[in-house]
Structure 1
């Protein structure tokens, strides 16, 4: 147990206790930084900051957030957003960065975070290389220095953006390919030119040949899948051109990929670039450009198809699209949009329309994998929309009837004296646990002072510190349990339970509606035997409610 001087005990309320800051490290590396020097690597940034925190007992490292290949000119970055979520939830109240440029290069937005947003959340900000600490910063010393550094970073980012754009424009005018990934069927050579990829070029030629013979985009995609030809994304991933894991299992060809190939003049040997414009300095997004601003340089590389074949395919597609536009009839909306999936392949099922010679058209759902992609990868299944809606209404009606019964049970339970007493007991224990935590936090904060004043040796300090931290962990765990229990008592086990509220809203409905489906249904799966699996929203609230009713009825109010 720590030995505390009598003077400290007498004056505990007057002694300033050093606050322990729940600290996070934030590191960022842009593509431009990655090409420059090893000292700016994300690993080096984090190691340096870990050493900085390790020798400052008042900084407790909670989390490390980082963004790799992310521009500093805007704040829409995955790691940064995750850090801000931790700040808003109260888990973090101190940020440590290597320097201000790692935090951001946009003068206005960086200033907004440092001067308004972080102070609003009572967050301390430390920039190590800039020797800046918001806790100790004086308006006189830092009122000009920090904004000036932010402005310098901002101007630097703008200058880099202009130079990159200028360089790309020169390369495009020479007919060099400036994109990241070459069109399917080509490879990007070291000199910036496109050269034929002998592995995929035959596939492109086959696609044009089939299309010139009248085969539609969907049928071409099906044929490629049946032949087991890797999709463009999967091929590029296997070759290491695309490195993100999200491309690892993009197996299928889709008609959209086929269409992009069939209308791309790159296969005639022409280079068309500048279709979109990226904002390299600002938000980092891209914007489509009008056709008169595209950069087209003819005969920059070897073609894969001749002009005659390309023109034939274009004419066939134009005639087909014109014919389809004439046949299109006004179509009502799909009230199950995005909810119906195949029970076997787990892919979204397609909502289709079957015209009738007499009467309204029939709508139905069928497996898109079997119908449009590859018949070997799933089994045939179909369900008419009226049949599916009937199944859904029956299931929802049962849920509504169950909710009405449970609502009565909840009302009776809330009226019992034992239930109210249990709520009071939980509130009282929460209050007592919070007091214990507060006392422990004060003792833990004063512990380091005892060590500095030689009232404790190092072994005693470390032993007591570990004991306090263990006690705090146990108390916080208990507080989490009690808070969860209080939430269930005050929110779940009431007539205002979200599950009960949502279902009671529709208890007078005699037929299914789009509103009913969107509020109550999360996912529907259809299987080849015509069985249907329905996943309802609020299922966690429902299960929690049932379990809690059982416990409260048997234990607390029996």
Structure 2
């Protein structure tokens, strides 16, 4: 629906008091923002009757625009589904003054979107053709500075806690936070015995894989399950050799608190860097130990003895194979065989049948790629041809609608001349004028719809042309050349057993699809 008003609401985690779980400033709560905006719209004559659609990002920072409902709102704006965006203030919209300014001065005017910030008394309709006021730009700068200043204060406070051997990270399996002090670790009676058992099993000579399999068979809670974390991943939580290994290497189980092992280099840094060990903050006897230092050392010595002295780095371009049963990525053994590792941790698992030689998989992929190239070439050609035919029809329709729209304007002028020459009455003039205005409005709506269809159809034709050009470069290539680009065309391969796989292609954008194949995998 066009001419909808988008109400945008945002509340970040920094706005919430973590001790009481209450909003620090109640005026910033989602409910308060919603009430303020709806009341303002109800009192604005030009906007009160327009339909409203709400977008809400609860718990997302304003320092960047990677927010789900914000992105959904922008997509609606690009499709012409909304005509106005209303926020409580600019800080709710965003705290990066450069990006906020870009939206206000370039993106929204280009999309024809009106933007209102109630508490800032900003309405883009009053600034049309002008740059935003100095007061608005200054507020954007203050909001951005506030975020950076807050980030530095939080970082400084966190560093102080780390230096004092206070706990500030994810709670290790086997521990929980003290009920009166969230920065102090205490023994978790439910899971600590499991940690101690794992260390003793490793010391006794059991492998990490064997230990994981036993824990899964006994139904012992995994770290994710113990913390009641429900992942959106298709993979079911399970004990793995990696989980066991990470536990054995965690020095915190000896009562030592190690902090400042990673750090952000700058605000909004998504990838923290590893800090050199000499810069860590280490404090012994910071909390109760689950294992002794001697047991920790023995377990790590046992792990080191079993590890290979040299790691072999394999080509990673072929890591597109996934188990269709558990959703996990297949493991490549010796660079020649792909198999699902999950069966090691469970008896009677269907993952056990997921086993293919790399050479057999690539032969299937190569044959499938040849067929897919031909299918895509034909489909792209058909889509391109259909798009051209539809656009020719739409162009004729646009010319006709424009002519009809312009004719209404001339009829209005003729009607006015007749009224001035007293050939028709005022009532006849007004009645005729209203009828022509309604007709023009309907024609304008048809014009906009036809233009949107033309643009979408043009984009489809362009995509088909690009795809046709891409597959054209691959047509006629030798098998050796195709093998070089084999994994460039594959998004994912789901392996069901040693005979059946499903291929999901990257380049098939005109008509999304996948291919299923059966063959001998071993």
- TM-score between the two structures when normalised by the length of structure 2: 0.75
Question: Alpha-carbon deviation of 1:402?
Answer: 5.7
Match of 1:393 in 2: 366
Q: Map 1:284-299 onto structure 2 (within 5 A).
A: 286-299=272-285
The gaps in structure 1 that reach 5 residues or longer are 1-19, 354-361, 441-454, 456-465, 545-558
Match of 1:342 in 2: 323
Mapped pair 1:325 → 2:309: yes
- In structure 2, relative to structure 1, the CA distance for the partners of 1:39 and 1:210 (3 Å cut) is same
Question: Alpha-carbon deviation of 1:125?
Answer: 2.5
Distance 2:118 2:139 in 1: 14
Match of 2:192 in 1: 201
Question: Alpha-carbon deviation of 1:110?
Answer: 3.7
Question: Alpha-carbon deviation of 1:311?
Answer: 0.7
Q: Map 1:15-414 onto structure 2 (within 5 A).
A: 22-35=4-17, 36-56=24-44, 58-59=46-47, 60-61=50-51, 63-119=53-109, 121-137=111-127, 143-179=133-169, 181-189=170-178, 190-191=180-181, 192-237=183-228, 242=229, 246=232, 250-278=236-264, 286-321=272-307, 324-326=308-310, 328-329=311-312, 331=314, 333=315, 336-338=318-320, 340-353=321-334, 363-371=336-344, 375-376=348-349, 378-400=351-373, 406=378
Distance 1:141 1:520 in 2: 46
- In structure 2, relative to structure 1, the CA distance for the partners of 1:302 and 1:144 (3 Å cut) is same
Distance 1:439 1:350 in 2: 70
Q: Secondary structure at the match of 1:146?
A: helix
- In structure 2, relative to structure 1, the CA distance for the partners of 1:329 and 1:522 (3 Å cut) is closer
Distance 1:511 1:524 in 2: 21
Question: Alpha-carbon deviation of 1:203?
Answer: 1.1
Match of 2:392 in 1: 424
Question: Alpha-carbon deviation of 1:168?
Answer: 2.9
Question: Alpha-carbon deviation of 1:252?
Answer: 1.4
Question: Alpha-carbon deviation of 1:251?
Answer: 1.3
Residues 104, 132 of structure 2: 8 Å contact kept: no
Distance 2:475 2:130 in 1: 63
Distance 1:530 1:82 in 2: 41
Q: Secondary structure at the match of 1:178?
A: coil
- TM-score between the two structures when normalised by the length of structure 1: 0.71
Question: Alpha-carbon deviation of 1:186?
Answer: 0.5
Distance 1:275 1:40 in 2: 35
Distance 1:230 1:125 in 2: 50
Question: Alpha-carbon deviation of 1:390?
Answer: 2.2
Residues 380, 467 of structure 2: 8 Å contact kept: no
Q: Secondary structure at the match of 2:176?
A: strand
Residues 499, 542 of structure 1: 8 Å contact kept: no
Distance 2:187 2:274 in 1: 28
RMSD: 4.4
Residues 408-464 of structure 1: per-residue CA shift (max 9 Å, x gap): 9969x96xxx99877633432355568889999xxxxxxxxxxxxxx9xxxxxxxxx
Moved more, 169-178 or 370-379: 370-379
Moved more, 516-525 or 135-144: 135-144
Residues 525, 533 of structure 1: 8 Å contact kept: yes
- In structure 2, relative to structure 1, the CA distance for the partners of 1:107 and 1:349 (3 Å cut) is closer
Question: Alpha-carbon deviation of 1:306?
Answer: 0.9
Question: Alpha-carbon deviation of 1:159?
Answer: 4.2
The gaps in structure 2 that reach 5 residues or longer are 18-23, 409-426, 428-437, 514-522
Residues 315-337 of structure 1: per-residue CA shift (max 9 Å, x gap): 2233334xx133x4564x25532
